[in-house]
Amino acid sequence: MPSTCDLCDALDPSVSDCTLQRHLTPAQPRVLATNAHAAAIPTIGAYVAGYLLLVPRSHVLSLGGLAQDARTGVDMLMRDTAARLADRYDSPVLGFEYGLNAAGHRRIEHGHLHLLPTTADLHGWLADRLTGYPIASLADLPTDPAHSYITVRDQSGALTVYPVATDSQPRIRLRHVVAALDPRLEEGAWDWETDPHTDLMRRTVNDLAPAISRPLP
């Protein structure tokens, strides 16, 4: 029986019918890269081809809630997958996570990192509004469950953490900001509920599955 978490279902090979799979063809895999701690999957609302989520196997509110070895595993998967995206799409690659440590405040309460080919300068946009600090690896994410954060992997590969108030209103919609900063996209492209971009999700799987379906160390 499926769980109540769409991302847990997406990573579970025993679940054949889940929210993500319904946007793909029956023959398409939904897990495109994996290691012991996390997996890369296409995202509903993929407004550019190559838009993936890196999802930890453990169900946590944010990546900072993972054990250190699991955070290291997600970091390894991020670096490998970002390099493959950059090669496949001949594009710089952006990563980001909103580490909101508050239950009941979002539809998907399973921490995940967005990773996509884009020139959108999310790091610069946030730096104009928030105070951040660099980290060397996702292993160094803040781990205090009483505090929330935004993490950005910029197009150079550098990681920055921006502490944010857990009850911040209005909350920054990072997908919306990235879409607005990407000159290829039209207004409204970010809204996955209005347009899940099923065509781009399927293209992403077709583009990447032959290259990155093998397990990673």
- The span from the CA of 82 to the CA of 76, in Å, is 10
Strand partners, 99: 149
Who contacts 2 (Cβ-Cβ below 8 Å, separation ≥6)?
9, 15, 17, 18
- pLDDT tens digit string along 162-176? 999 998 888 899 999
Query: In the CATH hierarchy, which fold is given to the domain comprising 6-209?
Result: HIT family, subunit A (3.30.428)
State residue 192's pLDDT score.
Answer: 77
> Is residue 66 classed as helix, strand or coil in its secondary structure?
coil
* pLDDT at residue 46 tops 70: yes
Q: Where are the domains of the chain?
A: 6-209
* Ramachandran area for residue 44 (φ above 0: left; ψ -120 to 50: alpha; else beta): beta
- pLDDT tens digit string along 188-215? 777 777 889 999 999 999 999 865 544 4
**Own/partner pairs, 63-67, CB within 8 angstroms, 24+ separation:** 63/97, 63/99, 63/111, 63/112, 63/113, 63/138, 63/141, 63/151, 64/99, 64/101, 64/111, 64/141, 64/142, 64/143, 64/144, 64/145, 64/149, 65/101, 65/111, 65/143, 65/145, 66/37, 66/111
Q: What is the mean pLDDT of residues 123-145?
A: 98
DSSP string, 29-41: -S--EE-SSEEEE
Q: Is 10 exposed, middle or buried (0-12, 13-18, 19+ CB in 10 A)?
A: buried
**What are the structure tokens assigned to 143, written together?**
């781990």
State residue 217's pLDDT score.
Answer: 44
